[in-house]
Chains A and B, each alone.
Chain A
Amino acid sequence: MKRLTMIGCAIAGALASTFTLPAAADETNPYIVHRQGIYKTVAGHMTSLKAILFLGHEAKGQTTYHAEAIVEALKHMGNAYPAGSDKGETKARAEIWTQPEKFREAGQNSFAAATALSDATQMGDTKEVMGAYKKLGESCKACHDDFRKK
């Protein structure tokens, strides 16, 4: 029983320490800060769309705004990964710079999916919009799987 208690304490201690890690200093590499800002913008609109499409928020008319905002945000990602922008607190994997063609294709896939979502919201069929939304999410995930550190 005493041994069990010790094991329990060790687990609790390990868990507690993960919650009290000191915050890292703010990142200053302009490209890292900038692209993370854009990604957060996109993630914010994805969250709002989730609320409308799946959680019952009634602002159905606003799906176009969020979809277009994602398209606009992604338009500013063209030069988000210049040489040297791997230096800093980033989850960007080296493959982004060693396989630029493949990475560009992944980015274009997401842009195409965002555009398709925007088109779907203008047609107004909720099923279609949900489908396009999931496709966009899948394109995000596909890129994360290959180019983002776990």
Chain B
Amino acid sequence: MKQTRDIPVWDLPTRLFHWLLVLLVAGAWLSHEFGDVTLTWHTWNGYALLTLLLFRLLWGIIGSSTARFADFVTGPRTVLHYLRNHRPTLGHNPAGGWSVLALLIVLLTQAVAGLFATDDIIVSGPLNFLVSSDTAALLSSIHRLGFYVLLGLVVLHLAALAFHRLVHGDDLVRAMISGRKPADRVPPDAAAAMRPLWLAALCLACAALAVWLGVSMWGW
């Protein structure tokens, strides 16, 4: 077997984000499906999820190079070209970049819509009082139906993983755990520019502050 060096691709904050996101998305479903009718866990799960998503938006602007939107959001021409001529990329490939963006947008929509939603029984989101009942009903429907859109994206995500594994022989799950890809799986001389951990901690703190303010400042 050929001995190859592993190249750092994903920084720790991006990996933690990814796996915490998996846990919290599962938690969002579980706490709604099996949780108490007061949805206490679901609500707190939602705050955590929103914090994590806002962190990712910040990290996508000032984070490590492979985490930045500017690194992986490309035009449709690039995506089509990539789909026709597969070649290795350091971070997200052009198609995967759009998958990341779609997941972030749907999850953000879910989290924000949930703040305004009501189940018309017991539970109302913390910002439900800010909108008319018609708007709340619309956002509640978006929140309920968004789950199916998310489910579709998750299935697509897993299918893409299986495709890369079987067709290209890429172990993307391992890369998202260890943060590294084999040297022969990335473009030659490619290297990620990593940002320090304290900057990620600062982004997370800003995200948490924004969620806390957004939820509680209306009572002041």
Binding site for B on A (CB under 8 A): 1, 3-4, 7, 11, 15, 18-19, 21, 23-24, 39, 43, 46-47, 50, 54, 134, 137-138, 140-141, 144, 149-150
For A138, the chain B residues whose CB sits under 8 A away are 37
B189 within 8 A of A: no
Q: Which residue of B lies closest to A1 (CB)?
A: B70
Give chain B nearest CB distance to A139 CB in angstroms. 10
Known A-B contacts A23-B134, A138-B37; the reply to A7 vs B70 at CB < 8 A is no
For B73, the chain A residues whose CB sits under 8 A away are 3-4, 7
For B138, the chain A residues whose CB sits under 8 A away are 18, 21
* Interface core residue of A3, A134, A137 (most chain B CB under 10 Å): A137
Of the residues B38, B119, B131, contact of A19 by C-beta under 8 Å: B131
Binding site for A on B (CB under 8 A): 36-38, 61, 69-70, 73, 101, 105, 108, 112, 119-122, 131, 134-135, 138-139, 141-142, 144-145
Known A-B contacts A1-B70, A7-B73, A137-B121; the reply to A150 vs B141 at CB < 8 A is yes
A134 CA to B123 CA in the complex, in Å? 11
For A24, the chain B residues whose CB sits under 8 A away are 134
Once the chains bind, are B70 and A4 in contact (CB under 8 Å)? yes
B interface SS class:
helix
5 contacts between A and B (CB under 8 A): A3-B73, A11-B105, A15-B112, A19-B131, A43-B121
Of the residues A3, A21, A144, contact of B121 by C-beta under 8 Å: A144
For B131, the chain A residues whose CB sits under 8 A away are 19
For B135, the chain A residues whose CB sits under 8 A away are 18-19, 21
Give chain A nearest CB distance to B94 CB in angstroms. 13
Give chain A nearest CB distance to B138 CB in angstroms. 6
A108 CA to B142 CA in the complex, in Å? 30
A144 CA to B134 CA in the complex, in Å? 18
Once the chains bind, are A150 and B144 in contact (CB under 8 Å)? yes
Known A-B contacts A3-B73, A134-B37, A150-B141; the reply to A50 vs B122 at CB < 8 A is yes
Give chain A nearest CB distance to B84 CB in angstroms. 22
For A150, the chain B residues whose CB sits under 8 A away are 141, 144-145
For B108, the chain A residues whose CB sits under 8 A away are 11
For B122, the chain A residues whose CB sits under 8 A away are 46-47, 50, 137
For A15, the chain B residues whose CB sits under 8 A away are 112
For A1, the chain B residues whose CB sits under 8 A away are 70
Q: Which residue of A lies closest to B140 (CB)?
A: A150
For A39, the chain B residues whose CB sits under 8 A away are 120
Once the chains bind, are B105 and A141 in contact (CB under 8 Å)? no
Give chain A nearest CB distance to B131 CB in angstroms. 7
A23 CA to B134 CA in the complex, in Å? 8
Give chain B nearest CB distance to A25 CB in angstroms. 12
For A144, the chain B residues whose CB sits under 8 A away are 119-121
Of the residues B112, B121, B139, contact of A46 by C-beta under 8 Å: B121
A23 CA to B105 CA in the complex, in Å? 27
A24 CA to B145 CA in the complex, in Å? 21
A21 CA to B70 CA in the complex, in Å? 33
A46 CA to B139 CA in the complex, in Å? 21
For B121, the chain A residues whose CB sits under 8 A away are 43, 46, 137, 140-141, 144
Once the chains bind, are B144 and A54 in contact (CB under 8 Å)? no
Give chain A nearest CB distance to B141 CB in angstroms. 6
Give chain A nearest CB distance to B49 CB in angstroms. 17
